Structure 1
Amino acid sequence: MISADDLARLRRCVSLATEALDGGDEPFGSILVARHGTELFADHNHVAGGDHTRHPEFEIARWAATNLTPEERRTAVVYTSGEHCPMCAAAHGWVGLGRIVYAASSAQLAGWLAEWGVAPGPVATLPVTTVVPTARTDGPAPELTDEMRALYQRAFRPAF
């Protein structure tokens, strides 16, 4: 279940995604929050340079592996504008991070891309829990659906 606090943190992620898009990158943003509520790390996509592993969720996993104990990782929450791709889900699982809360699901994004005639990417669209069966996830956030759709449309819909 997504709480009011979760929704506020997801709005921060949407803001990071918008910042990425405004900077010429793909619109994805994520934050890592400690059990006690402190934001520990924030990032957005950095794939415009050609390295398509530069997703914010992957960067969170790398940062957490270096800077947090296993217990701190297990109790931290990852908030993200879009549900993890399989690569990021695997990194999340291997590092042992806690709950994931996302604004838009991978299924929503895949549906929108198909509607707009955008060819699927090279990696299968899978729910996080297919990649990491023990992952605790909440999302999508219906309150942010229109905003996320508009952001993705701005980024991915071909101009006609």
Structure 2
Amino acid sequence: MLDSQNRGQATEIDLRNLRETMKIAQESRAAGNHPFGALLAGPDGAVLLASGNTFKDDKGVGHAEMNVARDAAKAYSPEFLAECTLVTSVEPCCMCAGGTYWAGIGRLVYGMTEKRLAELTGDNPENLTMDMPCEHIFDAGQRKVEVVGPVPALEGEIAKAHEGFW
């Protein structure tokens, strides 16, 4: 078992990319989907792939992180993905953490915790949030995934994308 609890700090590039996921989340919401956004950043921080939530088409499995992880696994080698970062507005659920792990993405940056999301969504049947920090999924694996998050400076802004939605 590996320890993903050894968290790094968000860099300026991470913060820029988190702000981009917030824009993607707003676009997702405007398109009638859930307000989540994710992107894959290369080793240099450049955005390689991005996706919003696709609930309208994919229902409960159309999470932004899964969309990015699936596309990343198709497009890039495991060696390259190990050097990449999945950046997401909200902490990945257990499904998305698993997808990140199985895609081989080596680093995760998220803005707001899933616990905070649960406070916003309540018992909405379209987002029955689990109390399962993503580190629990990563710690059960054999491959290390560095986790950076939450980012308190952006949590309030991220939460605004969910206001009045749930």
TM-score bucket (shorter structure): 0.7 to 0.9
Query: Displacement of 1:101 after TM fit?
Result: 0.5
Query: Displacement of 1:138 after TM fit?
Result: 0.9
Distance 1:56 1:25 in 2: 10
Distance 2:159 2:130 in 1: 20
Query: Secondary structure of 2:82's match?
Result: helix
Distance 2:115 2:121 in 1: 10
Distance 2:59 2:125 in 1: 19
Query: Secondary structure of 2:18's match?
Result: helix
Instruction: Using structure 2 for the length normalisation, give the TM-score.
Output: 0.85
| 1:37-80 CA distance string (max 9 Å, x none) | 22110110010235211112111111121111111110000111
Identity of aligned residues (%): 29
Q: 5+ residue gaps in structure 1?
A: none
Distance 1:69 1:88 in 2: 19
2:147 paired with 1:137: yes
Query: Secondary structure of 1:132's match?
Result: helix
Query: Displacement of 1:119 after TM fit?
Result: 6.5
Query: Secondary structure of 2:61's match?
Result: coil
Aligned residues: 154
TM-aligned CA distance change 1:16 to 1:91, over 3 Å: same
Alignment check: 8 A CA contact 1:100 1:137 kept: yes
Alignment check: 8 A CA contact 2:14 2:45 kept: no
Q: Superposition RMSD on alpha carbons, in Å? A: 1.8
2:133 paired with 1:127: yes
Higher relative contact order (CA 8 A, sep 6+): 2
Query: Displacement of 1:113 after TM fit?
Result: 3.2
Q: 5+ residue gaps in structure 2?
A: 1-8
Distance 1:15 1:154 in 2: 17
2:128 paired with 1:83: no
Alignment check: 8 A CA contact 2:109 2:149 kept: yes
Query: Displacement of 1:118 after TM fit?
Result: 4.6
Give the equivalent residue in structure 1 for 2:81.
73
Deviates more, 1:58-67 or 1:68-77: 58-67
